[in-house]
Structure 1
Amino acid sequence: MKLSLPLLASLKRHPTYMKLIFYFVSANVLVLAVSFALLNWQSSKTLLEEIGDHSESLLANGARNTARLMEWSLEFSFSSSNDSILKVYALSDRYSDLETYEVWSRLTDIKNANPSIHSVYLINDYTNTIVDSRLGLNDAESFYDQDIIERLRDPNTADHSVLIPRTLSSPLAGQEAKEVMTIVRFYEKGSSISAFVLNVDTHDLMTLLQNNSNYANRSITVLNDRDETVYSSIPLNREQVAELRSHGSKGASGWKLFQPRKQEEQLMVYASSSIKGIQDWSFIETIPKSAILGKIAVLRNTSLILFLVLFLASLTVIVLISKRVYSPIQELISRVMRQHQAEKPGEGYSANELDYLSNVFTAQHQRIHVLTEQSRHHKTLGRERFLRDFLGDIYHSLEEIRSQFQEWGIDLPEDQLSVAIYRIDRFSEFSDTYPEKDRRLLRFAMSNIIQESLQSSRHKPQTVDMGNDHVAVVLSAPLSDEFAGKLQVSQQLIRQYLSIGTTVAWGRMLPSLTDMHEIYMETYELTQERFQFGHGTIIVKEWLADAPGELYHLPVDKERQMAQALSKGNADTVLETIRSAVARMRELPYFESKMSLIILFMDIRRLMQEHAGQPLSSSWGLTSIETQITQLETMENVASWIESLTSRTLEDIAAARGLSKNVALIEQAHRFIDERLTDPNLSATMLADHLGLSVNYFRGLYKMETNQSITDTISEKRLDCICRELIASDAAIEQIIHNFGFSSLNTFYSIFKKVYGMTPAQYRRMNRQ
């Protein structure tokens, strides 16, 4: 008891030491306890996350590959159904045995092209017969696949004729029924059920999914966007399908744990994939949780033993470390007390050594901070505010400017002053990436880099953060290639250290200090010339021409050429015309180039609208191109955007025309025109007789489908042939005209002059030069 009293008294005199021991031990116990609890909980969770993420990746990859196989089958079905022999047979009301055999042979070739194709058949609603790739010719009433016939005759199910999951019975005894995906191509939808039908073996299609993993009791289910079962490795009733759908999100991928009714807990992995935008398939894989976590109990027991050993070792180390940590603290406190002639702990100050030391340091730090911030805040912010106002506002008095220079210690001469602006490229992306606080820090870093790289004994630049997308520099350097090179070096350093691209503009010399605002605004406008020169360039006012350029307008012959290309769907000619116009605009200053580009855009929109037959998208609005010019910043980027928009619009127009049911009829008419082009009697009446249609109906149909009259088409084709012949041969013009079906010379010369703006002889001379 006597030995313990001195020890207790010593501990009371050193409460910090006791607290160190207590805190270290408590922290150690807490960390070990929390770590064990977390590991005990996270062990299974981490394993499930790893397996879930891996299974999700495998399932998503398998889903994409399966979707590609289905898309290939879809494309193959549609391309095969376009066979003219199959079309004619499906729409004929009579046929010969030879024609039937030829159709059957083609269907057999289509089936043999891919082992995943189960069967192919052609339905003729006019003869009520079906040609099957396996059985040949069948009557529709006795055909083994009555399910598809009923679907096609029912208006409610006929609309869903692509990617139909169903069970196909076998036509032969002893063979099992097959799960298939059926693709139907109507030839006369709404008028008859004549159609091309292709059945894909679902089991072969899902081979990639079946080989994803080797877990026991694993199951795979594929659902379409109508919640129909496309494929399932195990039998599922409607309630089970609805339960899977309620847990697997449409159009998303991921994994989760869920508890099916009357079953053990499962790990569900789900992914989705779109089939040509026609259907969205959901791929769902379930794995029993017990199959994943069977061996996790061994890891938990081993971890418990390991934590107990670590606790005992840590307790010993803590006691030793606490002693070593406390001795330097006690010595530091003694030195601080002697230096500041302070009282001992317990006599007016806290008895805790650390509290006392903290109070001393806090008081000193606060005094130093207040003094430093007052001086720096007053000097730095004042200079920054003045320079920003100096550039961005108007100072009316020269004496006022000189007074401010003297007050803020700005060492700049009154002559040979100019302004350079470092403007951040791709600022819209920059704003989306960095919040305003980070943008201010980056501009501050830009200012420091510019200041350091341009600083010299002769030139003392003043950098100013002007906000938004640029930093300004007031220079006292005369115009020279050497100093322009220094501007380029600072520009490269900004890219190297901050990964920020900039465009630098250097304006003209200041006539007077009172003109600083005008020169600053003029230099900022000069940065807009990056629209012509591109990002990352240096633009010097003295190196540019002062005279403004003229606006560029698309020549009449180029506009006529583009209109003809649009009517023919010739995208290459349209894009080449745009590129040649843009090449001419690159030589213009920013304002003229921008206005010329807008004019070109409006001309293209007008011509597109004339040939589209439907309203164009909002991307063709004037506001859209003005927004793109602002955001894309350079002519090259804006031109690429216009080309991309034009290509997409032309594809949409071509697709819309291609969907018309009368395309085949128009193509047949064009072939007949090409064959009889030299016949002077070629007319709309001859064409209508050839196609078996009335003249008035055919004229209206052709005008609706092509936006052009049949007479104009014949004349245009004849003119093209005549123009080529004028250039290629030396034959007399009248003879060439008669050879290509023009019986009246006066009519031909009138049409030629109207289209080309010149006579045939002038056209021959101009194109032979």
Structure 2
Amino acid sequence: MRLNMIRRNGKLYVRLLLGITLSIVLVLLISSSVYYFSFTGILQDKAYESDLSNLRQTGQAVANTTESAQSVAFQIYRNSAIAKVLYYQNPNAFDAQAVMIDLNNYLATMPYIQSIYVYNPSEDRFYISAQEGQSGILKGNEVNDTGIMEILDHYQEYKPFAPIPRIIKADNPEMEDMGVYTYLCYDAISSNKQMNSAVVVNISASWINRELASKTNESTSRTLLVDDRDIVRSVSDLKPLQLSDQDLSLIRSELGEPNARYTIADFEGVKSLISRTSSDQYDWHYVRISPYDEIVKEMKSVRVTTLLIASSVLLAGLFLSWLLSRYLYVPINKIESRMADLESERRNSSYTIRQNILHKLVQIQEFDPQVQLDKLKRADISFDFTKPYQLAYLRIDQFEKLKKNNSKDLLTYKFAIMNIATEICSKHFRVDSIELEDDSILMLLNVVDHSLSETEPLHAMLGEVQAACLEYIHIGISIAVTPVTDNPHQLHTMYKQAKEASYHRFFQGRSAIIETESLPFTEVSYSFPVGKEKRMIDALVAGKIDEAKSLFAEIIGETAPYPIRIVHSAATHITVSLGNMLKEIERNGSLQLGFNAELAVPRIEDFETLEEMTDAYYAFFDLLKSKLVEKRSGKQEDLIRKITHLIETRFTDPNLSLNYVADELNMSSYHISRVYRQQTLTTIVDMINHVRMENAKELLTTTECSVSDIAEKTGYASSSYFHRMFKKIYGVTPSEFRNAHAKK
């Protein structure tokens, strides 16, 4: 006790150091999390303010450009030389030349203007001056910029002097299309509201973007424009974007709010901060898409650094704790280890001796009771077989599963079961336990309280043992119990009966309490029902699974009144017969079922209860049926392919018929006809005619052969029969068919 106190106090310091270390790590993690989320919010707001400023600069740049474009358009209208070509017909060559010179001067002095169109609708004549692309005096149908014609035809749909974002197609395929803001100035004061004249100023989007780039720090962010026609464009080149429905819905939902705002969502599969402006004077919205990782990149590095620091502190604390536990208390640990070894050696030696004596006692059949009783007393074993006693044979349920998952702890579990059973039974019995092979334990019970020898109180006590094992170590046990006797020479016989009775868990289920008195141990005549087994196998082969299951259940159920070896013998007989059946099916039916691989016959040795074995056999029957259906279906599909290939390769043979195909395949005509019709919903004869007619149609349309030659080439011995069949199927004669396709 004192040594244990010293040991516990020694570990107290280790625990204190671990607690301090874990507290520091926890504080670091919590504080870094708080800082991370706080500063992330600040970075989001900062990024939003930067994006909003950028978007407003973009909108302001477009607004400034609108004023410049309006000023240029008014100057053009006030230009006397240009006025002549706008309102008068058939201007002379000098006036036209003067107009082109003035327009070129405008472009030279205003580099942000990409092109200027002066349009006289009455003459359908354009005067075009452009930095790049088409220039000169052109008719409307000669203008390559088809987009401007669309705008002029529907000019009333556009707001006066509102910029129109659009793309001008390049004249040369090697050049890129150009994004421009188009400003339309027109005179439409006639009574019919027709346009009298128009001046179009196209301002290059790239010029505006170049101006903005010098003022903003561009990153991986993108700026989008949603115009008054609800078209989403890239501000960089004004090209409409092809967005998914999800991304488009996200953009539109953001535009539904009246004020400028931002949100965080996935855009094109990337988590992004989406900022947008409120509607401007043109009913436009600007949207900024910034990758979220770029915004919080710095905070992520801080978080990683904090986690590394916390990990380092934790590792250092664990290392120091390990050093303390290893070196500071080495003497105490050595003393404790030595005492534990001595105690274990003494205990194991005494336990091994006791177990060996009890093993021999239940195995020998003829012995001197007094001699054996003296041996038991010398080993400090309390069991006395000269006084009333009985045996309880404990068998662990689901032992194979326990063995697989806890192979190293099996002995510990068995000790625990023995201790639980001894503690509960010692209230009414003197108890000794024997650890037997694998899943078994034998309890030797000397009756002290004779009232417990009655069935119901004894069952209640054994049920208490089962419940305690299930509650504390989560292990179920089945128990076979013998009647009370005081005959020493009955010990071996009762042990054998208890052991055999424990196997009747197969019928009574797990956690059963089995009385050996109720079971047959004498030789009983049993005749295996060969007829039922044959009917079961015939039903399996025929696909009658329910009948096979019922016969299997009857065969196994009939063995319940017999000793357990009869049950094993019957189940083994069925296993062998089913194995032979599978081999026979594979040999005679040319079907590879996967015997002893995925289609293995269950064995009784693999199951603890009848229910488990029945379920396994039923599953085996179902799998066998599915494989038989699958394999047989595959053979039929192979037969269909062979028949079809034969028809397609030999349709020119006049002798090709149902019997011809049957002879070639060495099968009955009735069988192949039935299978082919079931699988293809057509007959072999119809398929022969179909293939011949399809080839005849091809020859009629691609060759000059006569109808009689085509009939011969497609397997028809008589051209008149071919003529009748063709008209019957297609409604026209071969000649009419050829003429009709020749005209096409």
Normalization by structure 1: what TM-score? 0.41
Structure ID, larger Rg: 2
Normalization by structure 2: what TM-score? 0.42
